[in-house]
Structure 1
Amino acid sequence: MTVNDDSFTNWKNREEIAESMIPIIGKLHRERDVTVLLHSRSLVNKSVVSILKTHRFARQIAGEELSVTETLPFLKALTELDLGPSQIDIGMLAATYKADDRGLTVEAFTAEAVAGATGANKIEHGEGRDVVLYGFGRIGRLVARLLIEKSGSGNGLRLRAIVVRGGGDQDIVKRASLLRRDSIHGQFQGTITVDEANSTINANGNAIKVIYANDPSEVDYTAYGIKNAILIDNTGKWRDREGLSGHLRPGIDKVVLTAPGKGDVPNIVHGVNHDTLKPDEQILSCASCTTNAIVPPLKAMEDEFGVQRGHVETVHSFTNDQNLLDNYHKSERRGRSAPLNMVITETGAASAVAKALPDLKARITGSSIRVPVPDVSIAILNLQLKRETNREEVLDYLRDVSLTSPLRRQIDFITAPDAVSSDFIGSRHASIVDAGALKVEGDNAILYLWYDNEFGYSCQVIRVVQHVSGVEYPTYPAPAV
């Protein structure tokens, strides 16, 4: 047998193992509300090749590829446990087991590592929480996709309705089509049907009522059986407490804004300050995509090295508020053609840092350039630290943060020397550290942070909504603090 034959046989064996993992992962998700992760990446509803690629990606951050032969025993061990709703990272299980020297069996080690999600400790299934989307643009449709994807056992978040202004003939058909196909993020994973007579979109079994209204005051959500719901405002039309309070209608309990909030509206970056929210807070903001991209790594650098001052320059994809061709715009430069120009503009992300990280005393400034790409941006974070360091120390630290810290869902890490922006379309992390671009000299560090300003941000929005709704399930093994 040749080397090529050996390689092909090995691949086919791994394909077979990955194939055997799919029904186990699916059953855990549907019946027990358990999401199986691999280094913070969900394996739910993934194909054989996708599972193998996710295992291989581990080499980018952990230094070596993770094999399905290593993780399958932990997955099988989970099926023997009395698990409650949770997120379980089999990549972390395999890594921590390898470092454990007590000689435990895989079964015993797994039972110990996820004990908080089993038996008397487990979270009981709730009734789920209704969610309403107000607006159905770029972020609204991606949030809808995520809500539908995460409907799982039906005990978590349930997308019940979408509120939009009427758009003429076949409005609901056109909106369903935009949900079904996306030029950047591809096809919707599942089936979508439209019931025009009842103004309903059915996506993967989720019946979503489309409500037409020109103003929040026109809607009584209880008339549609919606109660105690979380409303996600994707329009950005109202940003202060007074304006957003208009959404607090019968049936709506909380309002989440997908734009920076003004005044005393809390700006929340999941992973950094979500635990500061008061249980009775009814109005909150998920800040901006750029704020979500820079605040987690900024917090990580402050925790380890201290930050004296910093500047963030964002090279940002163009957005819907710019013009396709030169035309009037209330902003001076955004009226110029977005797909034909680099456009200098402002960013509020630097000033928003103070809301998310009030203990950070360093002054952070910022500016932005819009460029002719439709999605994925990069933030260049230039920091003066409180102590000297070197490139290797910073890289090792940020790699570890992306693997084992409480920020591992926010911060990703990549070593690929040829990475470009389109590689990060669909990333579920708030930002991705580009290891090859990192610059460190004495007390100065320059971080290059990629982020999918549409999908990665939408994932952060969902995490905040899960937190405030009480269906944010714990992750095991627990991240290092």
Structure 2
Amino acid sequence: MTVNDDSFTNWKNREEIAESMIPLIGKLHRERDVTVLLHSRSLVNKSVVSILKTHRFARQIDGAELSVTETMPFLRALTALDLGPSQIDIGMLAATHKADDRGLSVEAFTAEAVAGATGANKIEQREPRDVVLYGFGRIGRLVARLLIEKAGSGNGLRLRAIVVRGAGGEDIVKRASLLRRDSIHGQFQGTITVDEENSTILANGNEIKVIYADDPSQVDYTAYGIRDAILIDNTGKWRDREGLSKHLRPGIEKVVLTAPGKGDVPNIVHGVNHDTVKPDEQILSCASCTTNAIVPPLKAMADEYGVLRGHVETVHSFTNDQNLLDNYHKSERRGRSAPLNMVITETGAASAVAKALPDLKARITGSSIRVPVPDVSIAILNLQLAREASRAEVLDYLREVSLTSPLKRQIDFITAPDAVSSDFIGSRHASIVDAGALKVEGDNAILYLWYDNEFGYSCQVVRVVQHVSGVEYPTFPSPAV
């Protein structure tokens, strides 16, 4: 047998193992509300090749590919336990078991590592929490996809309705079509049918009522059987407490804004300050995509090295508030053609840092340039540190943060030398550290942070909604603090 034959046989063997993982992952998700992760990446509803690629990604992190032969025993061990709702990272289980010197079996080690999700410690599955989307644009449709995807276990969050302005003939059919197919993010994973007579979209078994209204005051959500719902405002029309309070109608308990909040509206970046949300807080903001991209790595750097001052320059994809061709716009430069120009504009991300990181005393400034790409942006974070560091030290630290810290769902890490913006379409992280571009000299560090300003941000929004709804389940093994 040749070397090539050996490689192909090995691949086929791993395919077979990955294929056998799928029903185990699916059963844990459907029956016990357990989400199986691999280095913070969900394996639920993934194909054989996707599972193998996710395992291979581990070499980007720690230099060695993780094999399904290493993680499969931990997955089997999980199926034998009395698990409650949780997220369990089999990549972390494999890594921590390898580093453990007690000689425990896979079964014993797994039982110990996830003890907080078993027996008397496990939390009970909760009734699904109603969610309403107010507005159905770029972010609204991606949040809808995520909510439908996460409804697979029958628990957690349940998308009940979408509120939009009526736009004439076949309105609901056209909106469903935009949910079904997306020029950037591809096809919806599942089936969508439309009931025009009852103004309903049926997506993967989820009945979603389409409500037509020009103003929040026109809607009584209880008339549609909606109770204690979280409303996600994707329009950005109202950004202060007074305006957003209009949504607090019968059937709505909390309002989450997908834009920076003004005044005393809390700006929440999941992973950084989501645990500061007061239980009785009814109105909050998920800040901006750029704020979500820079605040987690800024916090990581401040925690380890201290930050005296910083500047963020965002090179941002164009958005729907710009013109396709030159035309009147209330902003001075955004009226110029978005796909033909680089456009200097303002960003509120730097000033929003103070709300998310009130203990950070460093002055952070910022500016932005819109460029002719439809999605994925990069933030260049230039920091003056409180102490000197080496490039190798900072790289090792950020790699470890992305793997094992409480920020591992927010910060990703890539070493690929040829990575470009389109490679990050669909990333679920708030930002991705580009290892090859990192610069460190003495007390100065410059981080290059990619982020999918549409999908990655939408994932952060859903995480915040899960947290305030009480359906954000614990992760095991617990991240290092």
Q: Secondary structure at the match of 1:151?
A: helix
Task: Report the equivalent of 2:237.
Answer: 237
Whole-angstrom CA distance in 2 between matches of 1:152 and 1:197? 27
Whole-angstrom CA distance in 1 between matches of 2:397 and 2:183? 37
Deviation at 1:436, TM superposition (A): 0.1
Percent of aligned pairs with the same amino acid: 92
Whole-angstrom CA distance in 2 between matches of 1:82 and 1:23? 18
Whole-angstrom CA distance in 2 between matches of 1:443 and 1:125? 48
Deviation at 1:225, TM superposition (A): 0.3
Gaps of 5+ in 1: none
Whole-angstrom CA distance in 2 between matches of 1:244 and 1:294? 26
Q: Secondary structure at the match of 1:150?
A: helix
Whole-angstrom CA distance in 1 between matches of 2:63 and 2:305? 24
Encode CA deviations 1:156-209: one digit per residue, 9 max, x unaligned: 100000000001000000000000000000000000000000000000000000
Task: Report the equivalent of 1:261.
Answer: 261
Whole-angstrom CA distance in 2 between matches of 1:38 and 1:166? 43
Deviation at 1:128, TM superposition (A): 1.1
Whole-angstrom CA distance in 1 between matches of 2:29 and 2:258? 28
Deviation at 1:152, TM superposition (A): 2.1
Whole-angstrom CA distance in 1 between matches of 2:475 and 2:130? 23
Whole-angstrom CA distance in 2 between matches of 1:47 and 1:304? 38
Q: Secondary structure at the match of 1:352?
A: helix
Deviation at 1:379, TM superposition (A): 0.1
Matched, 1:16 2:9: no
Encode CA deviations 1:440-471: one digit per residue, 9 max, x unaligned: 00000000000000000000000000000000
Q: Secondary structure at the match of 1:101?
A: coil
Whole-angstrom CA distance in 2 between matches of 1:475 and 1:126? 17
Structure 1: 4+ residue segments shifted above 3 A: none
Encode CA deviations 1:316-372: one digit per residue, 9 max, x unaligned: 000000000000000000000000000000000000000000000000000000000
Q: Secondary structure at the match of 1:262?
A: coil
Encode CA deviations 1:134-173: one digit per residue, 9 max, x unaligned: 0000000000000000002211100000000001000000
Deviation at 1:62, TM superposition (A): 1.7
Q: Write the mapping of 1:307-386 to structure 2, written as runs, cut at 5 A.
A: 307-386=307-386
Gaps of 5+ in 2: none
Encode CA deviations 1:215-242: one digit per residue, 9 max, x unaligned: 0000000000000000000000000000
Whole-angstrom CA distance in 2 between matches of 1:453 and 1:256? 18
Deviation at 1:416, TM superposition (A): 0.1
Whole-angstrom CA distance in 2 between matches of 1:347 and 1:107? 51
Deviation at 1:126, TM superposition (A): 1.1
Whole-angstrom CA distance in 2 between matches of 1:384 and 1:430? 22
Q: Secondary structure at the match of 2:152?
A: coil
Whole-angstrom CA distance in 2 between matches of 1:61 and 1:430? 17
Task: Report the equivalent of 2:431.
Answer: 431
Whole-angstrom CA distance in 2 between matches of 1:214 and 1:326? 29
Matched, 1:70 2:70: yes
Task: Report the equivalent of 1:304.
Answer: 304
Encode CA deviations 1:364-398: one digit per residue, 9 max, x unaligned: 00000000000000000000000000000000000
Encode CA deviations 1:387-421: one digit per residue, 9 max, x unaligned: 00000000000000000000000000000000000
Whole-angstrom CA distance in 1 between matches of 2:234 and 2:98? 45
Encode CA deviations 1:25-63: one digit per residue, 9 max, x unaligned: 001001100000000000000000000000000100122
Deviation at 1:427, TM superposition (A): 0.1
Task: Report the equivalent of 2:136.
Answer: 136
Task: Report the equivalent of 1:4.
Answer: 4
Q: Secondary structure at the match of 2:59?
A: helix
Whole-angstrom CA distance in 1 between matches of 2:153 and 2:57? 29
Count of matched residue pairs? 481
TM-score (norm 1): 1.00
Q: Secondary structure at the match of 1:152?
A: helix
TM-score (norm 2): 1.00
Encode CA deviations 1:253-282: one digit per residue, 9 max, x unaligned: 000000000000000000000000100000
Q: Secondary structure at the match of 2:153?
A: coil
Whole-angstrom CA distance in 2 between matches of 1:382 and 1:126? 44
Whole-angstrom CA distance in 1 between matches of 2:125 and 2:52? 31
Encode CA deviations 1:264-302: one digit per residue, 9 max, x unaligned: 000000000000010000000000000000000000000
